[in-house]
Amino acid sequence: MVDLRRTVVARWLAAGDAGELDAFDALLDPDVVVHAPAGLSTTTLEEEKAVWEHALAAMPDLHHDVQEVLVNSDGDVEMARVIVTGTLEGDFGGIRATERSFRIDQAVITHLRDGRVAEAWEIADIAALREQVAD
């Protein structure tokens, strides 16, 4: 069984939720590419930090509850099943703030290089998010 606290993907999400964006320096490659929905894709570590800063400003209670992580036999691919919760207090990803809470499913697939995320794909149920926070 995989110890979630030891996986790079779980540590990345936990650091982001805690606002510890400097921890990203050890978890993400400087040229990390993150494919994300809602126009939030990034192509550098600094861009990824900026997205998280914006996310935390819009959703101060943002939380990623990592349910499980699968790791390939080489240890260079981690796939996480995540439940994301928060309250949309500010505009984010093209969605207008409504002060409503949400709970959505997310999958995160990461490719690691030298123990850091080099590329990631975030698959999130944005339709459910829009429905839950709509006016």
Q: How confident is the model at residue 5 (pLDDT cuts 50, 70, 90)?
A: confident
Residue 122: pLDDT over 90: yes
Please state the domain extents for the chain: 4-133
Cα(59)–Cα(17) distance, rounded to whole angstroms? 10
Cα(82)–Cα(10) distance, rounded to whole angstroms? 9
Q: Rounded to whole angstroms, what are the CA distances from 78 to 71, 90, 98, 99? A: 5, 31, 34, 33
Report pLDDT for 135: 76
Averaged pLDDT, 39-53:
98
Q: How confident is the model at residue 130 (pLDDT cuts 50, 70, 90)?
A: very high
Domain at 4-133: CATH architecture: Roll (3.10)
Report pLDDT for 3: 81
Mean pLDDT (the chain) is 96
Q: How confident is the model at residue 2 (pLDDT cuts 50, 70, 90)?
A: confident
Q: How confident is the model at residue 1 (pLDDT cuts 50, 70, 90)?
A: low
CA-angle at 98, arms to 92 and 100, nearest 5° = 100
The sheet carrying 116-124 orders its strands as 28-35, 116-124, 101-113, 77-87, 63-71
Q: What's the pLDDT tens digit per position in 64-112?
A: 999 999 999 999 999 999 999 999 999 999 999 999 999 999 999 999 9
